[in-house]
């Protein structure tokens, strides 16, 4: 079960809205959705959680690039919403790595795989390397909420209802509960 909400910081405090991520396919789509929630280019947080498995925070400040924190990259990688957050840059991979790995995987076990045996061996190592590129544990900007009162240490120690804990620390738990 997933929960996703937008928290927009305004002059009057935090405003929350639940959000459907069904039409969101990329991080750019998610950032655009966040920007729409705050026409004044205020800070907007996208909070996503999958029941006790992982949570993610995406912070969008105006037109700046989104800042991302994911509590457990390996768990998020098994989720369609998590895959949106786990960009190549966040995982420290070159953008083309993923495509090369898929090509290598497509060739394994085929007749062409035998003729490309030398390349196939390299592709297998690359595929294994990409598996290691999605670590168990947190990735991203753990200081994403520092200036809002949630330290890196606090963020890294959150589990369970992390979205609720974040909202409480921000003084936004009441508005978040209206959209849960």
Task: Write the DSSP assignment of 28-76 as a string of letters.
Answer: HHHHHHHHHT-TT--EEEEEEEETTTEEEEEEEETTSPPEEEES-HHHH
Per-residue confidence band for 86, with pLDDT thresholds at 50, 70 and 90: very high
User: How does pLDDT run across 140-157, given as a tens digit for each residue?
Assistant: 999 999 999 999 999 999
Which has more pLDDT, 121 or 174? 174
Q: Kindly report, residue by residue over 126-140, the tens digit of the pLDDT.
A: 333 444 568 889 999
Give the model's pLDDT for residue 156.
95
Average pLDDT, the chain: 82
Question: Nearest CA to 84 among 137, 138, 23, 136?
Answer: 23
Helix (H, G, I), strand (E, B) or coil at 97: helix
pLDDT tens-digit series, residues 61-73: 999 999 999 999 9
Say whether pTM exceeds 0.85: no
Burial 149-160 (b: 16+ CB within 10 A, else e): ebeeeebeebee
């Amino acid at each position: 079960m997933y929960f996703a909400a937008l928290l927009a910081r305004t002059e009057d405090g935090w405003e929350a809205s639940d959000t459907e991520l069904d039409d969101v396919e990329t991080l750019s789509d998610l950032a655009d959705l966040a920007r729409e929630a705050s026409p004044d280019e205020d800070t907007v947080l996208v909070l996503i959680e999958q029941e006790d498995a992982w949570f993610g925070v995406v912070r969008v400040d105006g037109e700046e690039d989104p800042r991302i924190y994911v509590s457990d990259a390996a768990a998020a990688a098994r989720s369609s919403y998590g895959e949106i957050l786990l960009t190549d840059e966040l995982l420290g991979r070159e953008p083309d790595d993923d495509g090369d790995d898929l090509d290598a995987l497509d060739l394994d076990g085929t007749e062409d795989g035998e003729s490309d045996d030398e390349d196939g061996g390299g592709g297998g190592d690359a595929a294994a390397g990409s598996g290691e590129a999605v670590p168990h544990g947190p990735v991203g900007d753990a200081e994403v909420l520092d200036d809002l009162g949630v330290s890196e240490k606090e963020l890294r120690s959150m589990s369970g209802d992390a979205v609720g804990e974040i909202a409480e620390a921000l003084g936004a738990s009441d508005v978040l509960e209206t959209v849960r």
